[in-house]
Amino acid sequence: MQIEAQERDDVLLRRSAKGDEAAFAELYRRHQAPLYRFALRMSGNVWAAEEIVQDVFMTLIRDPKKFDAGRGALRSYLYGITRNRVMKHLERVPREWLHEEIDEENASQAGPGFDVKTPVEWLELHERREQVRAAVLELPVEFREAVVLCGLEELSYEEAAQLLDCPVGTIRSRLHRGRALLLAKLEMLRDAPRRASASR
């Protein structure tokens, strides 16, 4: 069967439940990358993010009837499952494991491009990215979710509110607080070398 580019997710899910592998493959293609980035940015662990996303799609295969199109989009449903799996992972994992290095290619899913940065510029960029990742992982979970969903994944406040099952005002507040905490943490990191050199 042919898959139309704009075919709705709920239609594809019904076809998938009847054994249409192409329909399931299209659902996976549409949703895997953003779910993976969310899981990776929330957990800080490549292996955990891969396992979580695989588990989400296995859940969808095993019980597609749990999705109710009347309650929202499939995207929100899948994010909800992913969020639950991430929370379970975070409960089990010691805090020090959260700072595993994230593979930038896997996180961004970006294509190759020509760049003329010098090795020193690359090193500085890498260090800044690592500082931001570490600072995001140190945010309390509710603020981290808002920063990841709205700031990094660029979901609207309404989409994030639906996904997290809370009012839009709560998302705005958490995002504002999360950004403030993140900025404060990054300012502290930036000022640390200055303080160290001043004390010499």
pLDDT in tens, the chain (200 residues): 456 556 788 889 999 889 889 999 999 999 999 999 999 999 888 999 999 999 999 999 888 889 888 888 899 899 999 999 999 998 887 654 544 444 444 444 434 444 455 666 667 767 777 888 888 888 999 999 999 999 888 889 999 998 888 999 999 999 999 999 988 888 887 765 555 555 55
Domains in the chain, start-ordered, CATH in brackets? 1-111 (1.10.1740.10), 114-193 (1.10.10.10)
CA distance 43 to 50: 11
pLDDT value at residue 112? 42
Query: pTM, whole model, 2 decimals?
Result: 0.69
Q: For residue 79, give every residue at least 6 positions away whose Cβ sits within 8 Å of its Cβ, in sequence order, or none.
A: 35, 38, 163
- Show the tokens assigned to 27: 């659902």
Is residue 146 within 8 Å of residue 31, measured between CB atoms?
no
User: Which residues are within 8 A (CB) of 40 and not within 5 positions of it... i.e. 6 or more apart?
Assistant: 46, 49, 102, 106, 107
For residue 83, the model assigns a pLDDT of 93
Please say whether the beta carbons of 29 and 16 come within 8 A: no
Residue type, 109: Q
Long-range CB contacts for residues 25-30, cutoff 8 Å, separation at least 24: 27/60, 27/74, 28/57
Amino acid symbol at 181: L
pLDDT of residue 78: 94
Helix 9-17, helix 46-62: angle, nearest 10: 70
Q: Strand, helix or coil at 125?
A: helix
pLDDT number for residue 107: 47
| pLDDT for res 101 | 45
